[in-house]
Structure 1
Amino acid sequence: MTRGGYTGAGGPSVAVPEVWGKIPPRNKNFTGREELLATLRRNISGQVTVVVPHALQGLGGVGKTQLAIEYAWRFRSEYELVWWIPADQPILVRSSLAAMAPHLGLPSASIMGTEEAAEAVLAALRRGDPYSRWLLIFDNAHEPEDINDVIPRGPGHVLITSRNQRWEGVAETLPVDVFTREESVQFLSKRVPRAISPQDADDLAEALGDLPLALEQAGALQAETGMSASEYLRLLRERTSQLLSEGKPSEYPVSMTAAWALSVNSLNKKMPEAVELLRCCAFFGPEPIPRDVFFRAHPGLGPKLSALLKDRIRLTRAIGELGRYALVRIDLASRTIQVHRLIQALLRDQLSEAERARIRNEVHLLLAQFVPEDPEDTNNWGRYQQLVGHIEPSGVRENQDPAIRDFALNMVRYLYMSGDYASARRLVNQLLDQWAANAGQEDLRILAARRHLGNILRALGEYSAAYEINRAALDAARERGLESHPEVVNLTNSLGADLRARGEFAEALKHDAESLRLHEEVFGRENIATLRAMNSLALDYGLNSDYARSRELHQDVFDLLHSGEQNAGAATVLNAWTGLARAVRLCGDYAEACDLGEDAYYYGIEQLSADHPWTLRTAKDLSIAWRRAGDYEKSLEVAEEMHSRHFRLFGIDHPDTLAAAIALANIQRTVGRLDEAMELAADTARRYSKAYGGDHPFKHGCYGNLALLRRVCGDAQGARETNEKALAGLESKLGRDHHYSLTVATNLASDLAVLGDLENACRLGQGTLRRLRKLLGETHPMTLLCAANLSVSLRAAGEEEQAERLYEETIDAYARTLGLEHPDAVVAQERRYLDADFDPPPI
């Protein structure tokens, strides 16, 4: 971009930002405020500047937003990126930030999820990459706590508009008052050209208290109707007297209320259906309303609104009239309508409770019919996102209509699937609070909402809370005899994931076997819901060391998803693909696992992007497969990248980040970067208790990795003590005949041998080998590793004949499976101890 300079108070230079995001249209009637703009420009550089309306004690209509819009347009040549963020609802802030992602060279929110996209955007802004000269405008932020964590501290500028004086303690504030009288007269002269004298303008400004929004209403009415200033003032006095005699308004300036009422009354005489449309718009949120919401009439709409929506020409004219009377802001480019929040409040206050209930219900019907029914289809996400800002203000949660409740649940599902877990959690909690208060008894939609909440909490890594919610919901449903209801069957599958997260692997297997039977009975074998249940059972078999059965089930799921008869999204396909690749690796077929994993990884990049959670899990698993296959260079490169991405997107304590850290520490140890591996493994092992609980098998497996590093670094006694504790923990949870337990036992035998306790090393090695052969088979890589180590210990103990026989059998098996050039086979041939490590699979 060719950067231009500011050319004076009148306007910008010809240069424009590379990114110009969602900035409202410039107000052609913007007037005055030159001193404020100059002060704002001086103050804003290098700091957060907040525009606060002190004079009106936080009331709206003073022109804060208009000042921010004018600043963006006037000084746009100073920036490479300018972005507008509605901030009155916390639910909108992150999605607005996430929408910036493609403009920064990042994957879109539809690909990587809203939460992850927003975090990636914030990180890019903090770095100043690719743009260092940026401006973010957070419009109408209420509480500092709502957005303080998403204000990027970086090389750019942040501008906030707010009615809350508490921002004074957070940022440098600039108070915005009503117009000066000179500005009021100047504004009216521009708004009503050739139709108002300076004296009339002065009289109007006095009567309207110099409030910009009231002046805009008055100017629009006069410009549209040709009403004289004297007539307007007469009507204004009458209307004001009426309002005061009625004791109104208590919250809004009398001048604003009177000016608004005159405009509405005038339009009502000209086109009453336009006023009906305006009243409808008052029950949306204050954010832009998609015009296509009004594309077709719903059977539940009232006759006036229904008739208008059926007449496209009449509807277009009504919208135009609302714009001409300055009652709405029309953005032709984005095809949206926006009503000032103060005008919305005044319109609502004018109505009886019965009228408010009727119109609010009509808005809910319009919202619900605007979006397709499938919130998991990424093709539908654009429409869902347009409605996020209208769900809470319109009071959707209060509607007891089953169809509207289904729509609300679809909004929760959309937010969850798009990765905006925080917003999904907020919305579903609001729904549950409202619905539970209104319910005579637990209904199935409340059950569905609780299932969604459980899924959201699990995605956030809050495993214990997810389990408690799902367990209680399922128990309540079973008490009512609803085991076979589709919603309850889906909940049954969710609880299986909770059991895995608790480390109850055997219980999860038993539970999910019954869950799959229920799914097949209720949905049929090839339904998507059934395939998800089958995938869960495949995970259970893997966590219980039955890798052959796990592989078989994963293969079934993968084949059915690729049969062409399933309408599955890319994320579902990738999840199944990765599960199959993992099962193949756990069976010991490393080369095939690498091929499958690589294909799946590039599919994920192509279909979902490199930063999508499913793609990240696939890449992490591929790194493990490459390490097992002996391609350490590829494994290390991907492991480092995946750990960095997980840390950036999810934070250090998220279970996926911890799994990526283990994969990285294992390859660091393998290639000899022992100090780095030790530091990372020790830190990760400590964090596992926080993520999963103090007695989870994954925690003990991590400490087994740490013990391995201690021995490799020369502390064999420390390794032994750590391994003994890890083995005891694993045996208490899983028993000795489990892959995780036998892995630690194999390493413990090596510890004993290094410490000179060859008798116990051989005894432990022999028992472990016998168990591994029975569990995994004679030629599984883990079995061969244990056998190779035992041959070394037997030889050191003087059992030459037995050691040699076992050595020859093992090397022959390596030749027939991994090949003698594989790093494990090379170490075995050199008669050195091999190291067995642990990688936690997803739950």
Structure 2
Amino acid sequence: MNVSGERPIGAESIQVAVSGDNTRVVVLPRDAVESALEVKAPAQAGYLPRSTSGVFVGREAELSVLRDSLTGGGSAAVVQPQRTPAQTISGLGGVGKSALALHYATRYRSHYTLVWWITADSPESILTSLAGITQRLCPQSAQKLEPDQQAAWAITWLQAHPDWLLIFDNVEDPGHLGPYLGTLAGGHHLATSRRATGWQALAPMVSLGLLPSDEATDLLCTIAFQGAAVNREQREAAKRLAHDLGYLPLALEQAGAYAHRTGIDLDVYRAHLALVLDENRDAPTPEQTIARIWDHTLNTITDRDPLAVTLLQAMAWLAPDSVPRTLLERLAPHTIALSNALGELHAYNMIGFTNDRQSVTVHRLVQTVLRTRTPARPHNDDTKPKAPGRADAERAVRNALPSAYQGLHPDDTAAWEGLLPHILALAETTPTENAPSADTANTYYQGAQYLYHQGRDAHTIALRTATLAQYEQVLGDTHPNTLISRNNLALAYRNTGDLERAIPLYEATLAQYEQVLGDTHPSTLTSRNNLAGAYQDAGDLERAIPLYEATLAQREQVLGDTHPSTLISRNNLAGAYRNAGDLERAIPLYEATLAQYEQVLGDTHPSTLTSRNNLAGAYRNAGDLERAIPLLEATLAQREQVLGDTHPDTLTSRNNLAGAFQDAGDLERAVPLYEVTLAQCEQVLGDTHPSTLISRNNLAVAYQDAGDLERAVPLLEATLAQREQVLGDTHPDTLTSRNNLAGAFQDAGDLERAIPLLEVTLAQCEQVLGDTHPDTLISRNNLAGAYQDAGDLERAVPLYEVTLAQCEQVLGDTHPSTLISRNNLAVAYQDAGDLERAVPLLEATLAQREQVLGDTHPSTLISRNNLAGARKAAAAVQQPDTATPATDPDRQPLSDTPEQPV
């Protein structure tokens, strides 16, 4: 087993497009991009699944609403179960959502250049389905691309070509769909989901209830009698059975298939099911209805072909869509027996076949019923029953595992992609009655490692969690495999921004590594570095810096001065110093690290370029723009040459150079560069990619600095709306956008909108980030400034005083943010006429800025100007300088992260 260790900075080559969680950028070679732009879809191109029964009845009103939703100015719609007093949303499986979507796609297929069905119950299944577009439209490119590259090609094609229809079937989380709605705007999106909430901001909803009595009767008769004439008595019997089945389409289809297969009279079948209810009893849930049908159907199938039931019970634990025949072959004695068993199940509408008949599908509600059925046991058997089919499913998947996940053959990659949904399904449906197994844990681990090596770490959480749980029970809490699993799960949480779960997991892992492997074992050092990085992500530099320092010292001793892990540690420590405002230690360390990267890896290695960018950023923080700007220009030129003009790292460099021009007051060069960067981010990464949103934010702030509020405010409003949609209401980036928009309102003199927005932002920062997080301190400072602008010094001064005290405690006495806070408090004292406190505070601030930032740093010049004004006011006993003292803008830099360990 391999630990997922540190990933060197800049080591991953990335090029174009995004993947499922809208944060991953993947390699897409230039020729692949060109083919995505040029390839045309052949007539009637697309993929739609086969209907299990092949019958669709009624729903004309819903189809009309659906069509109007998609063509009446909208581009997306969601089909979901209708909420009724008698049934909860979770109880409305089998109502016909997918059947309606499939019928819509079939009816209007000629209106679209491409129609594609996407299994959407997880981000991974969405990616796999998107990759199928590439395999269909450009098989030559698909053969050369990894699965996530194939998905990226598909996204690029969809961005470049209009008039397509994507059907996202069974969306479990609306957030999984949001990135695609924002990035792909040239066609229609149709989703089905059992979720009732979370769609309001994404798409209109089309509610789907049970079938009306007549339509339910029509569906049952059509399937049961297969085109034969139906007399009045038969139709009345069908009507009675449809009523007893609750007009649930799935139940009607399966009952009809049973009646057709066996020739049983519908009234006799109804009596066998014992579904006639007293009027005072509640209607059965869909699960109960299906269970009653299945108890009868399974007995019949068992008599005809026991293997069919064995296969069905195993499929209950797998993913519902695209169960490969090759996977099921491992449970059958030979191919003919498998074909006969699957044919029997299909005849009873228990399963469906894909178009190529190489895979089968099972309805989700049917799987739920099968997983929860209690198997029959002898009266004298008191043992705890095992879940039927579970062991067979685990064995089939385990025996189908492809080769190792590194250095994959293309056939192995395809096999992994086909198997992943079933590994994930096993991990998410582990029954409590089954004993843990090291073999099963290894299955989960290998699936997670495949995803990790594909760069899809954020999608590994379910598998990482299941692996850890199994290993803890089987191997013990401190077994090396358990420690590796715990570290890997912590990383997955960190990559999704869930530091509340990542940090305790990292802390526990480090303590156990120290106990089991010793203080300086390479795995212990990796664990220590990872924990320090999580502390840094959380803004807890008091714990991050000492841990980074200890790790660096130990790596220098154990691994040597220029080992890649040592260079990573040195870069990370410099970044932590920089975040803490300790540029006197950060800059020399960045300089030393860059020199070593140049020596060991060469002048244009991606890690060297990242190191060079980081050093330039530190110079910029120090106000040394004479060194920062040339270094940023050189880094940008090298990245353009080595990585290409639109590589994400190149876009980062372009953004950072624009920021340095902005710091220098050169908005004539900054604004156009920001505009170019934003346009490229939109083209390469998509409209709602996090880096695009950062670029949009930065351009808006540059407009604001230029006094162009007419362009700044709408851009900030758009960015905030997109971040709320894509990242959520309380994501740190969303809070930054909300703060920046409030600042623009403040600059426009609109304090009625600025102050409430700042108050809300501060409350959210305190709740989400904590009372002393740097972003919370910025928010508190900005609110104090708005109170000051409103002339409410009774609220402004105490808030400034609290902010300064917290800055001194958390960031230190000379951190740039502390100096800003001290300057702002002094000016507030001056506004209040309290020059006795203002002047000494301004003098102290100036002295500290001269010492820390240098004599000509812009902030030092501000302090010098403010102090001169205060002294003049004190001497002349007149109003202070009315110019509002400048403060560092709450601008979010698009900068390289030091290291992302895995």
TM tier, smaller: 0.5 to 0.7
Q: Is the 8 A contact 1:119 1:649 kept in 2?
A: yes
Report how far residue 686 of structure 1 moved. Answer: 2.7
> What CA deviation, in whole Å up to 9, does each residue of 1:808-832 have, x standing for no partner?
xxxxxxxxxxxxxxxxxxxx9x995
Report how far residue 291 of structure 1 moved. Answer: 6.8
User: Is the partner of 2:197 in helix, strand or coil?
Assistant: helix
- Residue number in structure 2 paired with 1:736: 813
Bigger Cα Rg? 1
- Residue number in structure 2 paired with 1:404: 443
- Residue number in structure 1 paired with 2:36: none
Gap change, CA 1:212 and 1:620, over 3 Å in 2: closer
- Residue number in structure 1 paired with 2:393: 360
> What CA deviation, in whole Å up to 9, does each residue of 1:710-749 have, x standing for no partner?
4344445644332222111212223322222111112222
- Residue number in structure 2 paired with 1:261: 302
- Residue number in structure 2 paired with 1:703: 780
> What CA deviation, in whole Å up to 9, does each residue of 1:370-408 have, x standing for no partner?
894599x9x999668755753436749954236324225
Matching of residue 544 in structure 1 with residue 621 in structure 2: no
Gap change, CA 1:764 and 1:685, over 3 Å in 2: same
- The residue type paired with residue 298 of structure 2 is T
Q: Is the 8 A contact 1:81 1:135 kept in 2?
A: no
Q: Which 10-residue stretch deviates more, 529-538 or 787-796?
A: 529-538
Report how far residue 366 of structure 1 moved. Answer: 5.3
Alignment of 1:307-706 (within 5 A): 329-332=352-355, 336-339=359-362, 359-365=392-398, 368-369=401-402, 372=405, 386=421, 390-392=425-427, 395=430, 398-401=436-439, 403-410=442-449, 417=456, 428-455=464-491, 457-458=493-494, 463-485=499-521, 487-500=523-536, 503-518=539-554, 533-547=569-583, 549-551=585-587, 579=614, 582-589=617-624, 591=629, 603=651, 605=681, 608-609=685-686, 611-617=688-694, 620=697, 642-666=719-743, 677-706=754-783
Gap change, CA 1:534 and 1:621, over 3 Å in 2: farther
Q: Which 10-residue stretch deviates more, 276-285 or 497-506?
A: 276-285
Q: Is the 8 A contact 2:571 2:611 kept in 1?
A: yes
Aligned residue among 865, 875, 900 for 1:788 = 865
In 2, distance between residues paired with 1:411 and 1:176?
A: 48
User: Is the partner of 1:136 in helix, strand or coil?
Assistant: strand
Matching of residue 288 in structure 1 with residue 322 in structure 2: yes
Q: Is the 8 A contact 1:462 1:691 kept in 2?
A: no
Aligned residues: 716
User: Is the partner of 1:253 in helix, strand or coil?
Assistant: helix
- Residue number in structure 1 paired with 2:822: 745
Q: Is the 8 A contact 1:769 1:787 kept in 2?
A: yes
Gap change, CA 1:794 and 1:557, over 3 Å in 2: same
User: Is the partner of 1:337 in helix, strand or coil?
Assistant: strand
User: Is the partner of 1:724 in helix, strand or coil?
Assistant: helix
> What CA deviation, in whole Å up to 9, does each residue of 1:203-247 have, x standing for no partner?
xx999999644765797xx8xxxxxx89x99xxx9xx9xxxxxxx
In 1, distance between residues paired with 2:216 and 2:801?
A: 79
- The residue type paired with residue 443 of structure 2 is I
- The residue type paired with residue 365 of structure 1 is R
In 1, distance between residues paired with 2:404 and 2:746?
A: 51
Using CA pairs below 8 Å that are at least 6 residues apart, which structure has the higher relative contact order?
2
Unaligned residue ranges in structure 2 (runs of 5+): 1-40, 70-77, 132-150, 167-172, 246-250, 273-289, 377-384, 640-647, 653-680
User: Is the partner of 2:191 in helix, strand or coil?
Assistant: strand
- The residue type paired with residue 780 of structure 2 is Y
In 2, distance between residues paired with 1:675 and 1:481?
A: 60
- The residue type paired with residue 260 of structure 1 is I
- Residue number in structure 2 paired with 1:811: none
Q: Is the 8 A contact 1:260 1:343 kept in 2?
A: no
Gap change, CA 1:581 and 1:658, over 3 Å in 2: farther
Gap change, CA 1:172 and 1:346, over 3 Å in 2: closer
Gap change, CA 1:343 and 1:117, over 3 Å in 2: closer
Q: Percent identity?
A: 23
In 2, distance between residues paired with 1:115 and 1:456?
A: 21
Matching of residue 30 in structure 1 with residue 54 in structure 2: yes
- The residue type paired with residue 360 of structure 1 is A
In 1, distance between residues paired with 2:883 and 2:350?
A: 82
Unaligned residue ranges in structure 1 (runs of 5+): 1-15, 109-113, 142-146, 159-170, 223-228, 241-248, 269-273, 801-827
- The residue type paired with residue 301 of structure 2 is W
Gap change, CA 1:280 and 1:467, over 3 Å in 2: closer
In 2, distance between residues paired with 1:655 and 1:526?
A: 35
Q: Is the 8 A contact 1:789 1:834 kept in 2?
A: yes
Gap change, CA 1:68 and 1:499, over 3 Å in 2: closer
User: Is the partner of 2:862 in helix, strand or coil?
Assistant: helix
Report how far residue 655 of structure 1 moved. Answer: 1.4
> What CA deviation, in whole Å up to 9, does each residue of 1:731-775 have, x standing for no partner?
222332222211111222222333333343332222222222222
Q: Is the 8 A contact 2:444 2:464 kept in 1?
A: no
Q: Is the 8 A contact 1:286 1:338 kept in 2?
A: yes
Gap change, CA 1:154 and 1:660, over 3 Å in 2: closer
- The residue type paired with residue 392 of structure 1 is A
Gap change, CA 1:105 and 1:675, over 3 Å in 2: farther
Matching of residue 754 in structure 1 with residue 754 in structure 2: no
User: Is the partner of 2:49 in helix, strand or coil?
Assistant: coil
Q: Which 10-residue stretch deviates more, 647-656 or 321-330?
A: 321-330
> What CA deviation, in whole Å up to 9, does each residue of 1:674-695 have, x standing for no partner?
6655444343223221122123
Report how far residue 703 of structure 1 moved. Answer: 2.0
Alignment of 1:42-441 (within 5 A): 50=81, 69-70=102-103, 73-74=106-107, 105=159, 118-121=177-180, 135-138=190-193, 141=194, 147-152=195-200, 156-158=204-206, 173-175=209-211, 187=223, 190=226, 212-213=253-254, 216=257, 253-261=294-302, 264=305, 283-289=317-323, 329-332=352-355, 336-339=359-362, 359-365=392-398, 368-369=401-402, 372=405, 386=421, 390-392=425-427, 395=430, 398-401=436-439, 403-410=442-449, 417=456, 428-441=464-477
Gap change, CA 1:589 and 1:119, over 3 Å in 2: farther
Report how far residue 540 of structure 1 moved. Answer: 0.9
Report how far residue 509 of structure 1 moved. Answer: 1.2
- Residue number in structure 1 paired with 2:886: 835
CA-based RMSD: 6.3
Gap change, CA 1:658 and 1:290, over 3 Å in 2: farther
In 2, distance between residues paired with 1:213 and 1:573?
A: 63
> What CA deviation, in whole Å up to 9, does each residue of 1:535-570 have, x standing for no partner?
53233111221236435656777899999969x999
In 1, distance between residues paired with 2:217 and 2:747?
A: 76
Q: Is the 8 A contact 1:710 1:719 kept in 2?
A: yes
- Residue number in structure 1 paired with 2:135: none
User: Is the partner of 1:766 in helix, strand or coil?
Assistant: helix
Q: Is the 8 A contact 2:255 2:293 kept in 1?
A: no
In 2, distance between residues paired with 1:479 and 1:464?
A: 24
Q: Is the 8 A contact 1:740 1:838 kept in 2?
A: no
In 1, distance between residues paired with 2:597 and 2:177?
A: 31
Using structure 2 for the length normalisation, give the TM-score: 0.61
Gap change, CA 1:542 and 1:623, over 3 Å in 2: farther
